[in-house]
């Protein structure tokens, strides 16, 4: 059996889903997002979830067709630019770190809200060329599809609605470092 793996890294939880070749969900596991040693713990915990699933189901890692990772915050050139609710350094290379555990696996990474918007676009059978999705979780995000293409903006922040200033600067600080963000 060939398996795809989808990983949703959130500020509170990480969900790892396992899919068949027709992209039907077979199983998923959820666990808290680490808040200490995040740079090493997140890739380690993702790979552990994958290895545990494969072991329990008598599968070999060569059956893993690919891993897709969604993460809040802007992603540019396959690197995480900033994650306000997850303590990862600017420019963190999640793909490189995860490939230490899964060296021959195709791994992709994108902004979670952009992937949510693209998923809605594809599920609807491309009936609408333009889609906007608002995501609510630990943070607030947005994904924009125009003419079937994900709009990331010059700095990868086109849909980052949670960081629009809506309050005064005396509000509690946001994880991004600003005050008054919608997210706070």
Output the pTM of the full model: 0.85
Q: Domains along the chain? A: 3-112 (3.30.420.40)
Q: In this predicted model, what pLDDT tens digit does every residue of 84-134 receive, in sequence order?
A: 778 888 889 999 999 999 998 999 999 998 998 888 888 877 778 898 988
72/141 Cα distance (integer angstroms) = 7
Identify the residue whose tokens are 């596991």.
29
Residue of 99, 93, 69 lying closest to 5 (CA atoms)? 69
- Name the percent of the chain lying above pLDDT 70: 98
Helix spans in the chain (H): 38-56, 94-99, 112-123
Q: In this predicted model, what pLDDT tens digit does every residue of 49-74 receive, in sequence order?
A: 999 999 999 999 999 999 999 998 88
Does residue 39 register a pLDDT over 80?
Answer: no
Spell out a b/e string for 67-102, using b for 16 or more CB atoms within 10 Å of the CB, else e.
bbbbbbbbbeeebbbbbbbbebeeebebbebbbeeb
Check if the beta carbon of residue 109 is closer than 8 Å to that of residue 78.
Answer: yes
């Amino acid at each position: 059996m060939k398996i795809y793996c989808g990983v949703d890294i959130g500020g509170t939880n990480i969900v790892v889903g396992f899919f068949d070749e027709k992209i039907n969900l077979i199983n998923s596991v959820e666990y808290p997002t680490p808040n200490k040693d995040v740079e090493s713990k997140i890739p380690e915990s993702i790979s552990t979830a994958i290895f545990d699933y494969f072991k329990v189901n008598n599968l070999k890692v060569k059956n893993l067709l690919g891993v897709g990772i969604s993460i809040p915050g802007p992603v540019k050139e396959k690197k995480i630019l900033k994650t306000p609710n997850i303590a990862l350094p600017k420019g963190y290379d999640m793909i490189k770190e995860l490939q230490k555990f899964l060296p021959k696996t195709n791994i992709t990474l994108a902004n979670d809200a952009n992937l949510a918007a693209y998923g809605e676009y594809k599920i609807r059978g491309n009936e609408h060329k333009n889609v906007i999705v608002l995501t609510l979780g630990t943070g607030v995000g947005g994904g924009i599809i125009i003419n079937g293409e994900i709009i990331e903006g010059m700095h990868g922040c086109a849909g980052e609605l949670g960081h629009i200033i809506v309050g005064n600067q005396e509000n509690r600080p946001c994880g991004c470092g600003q005050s008054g963000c919608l997210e706070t």
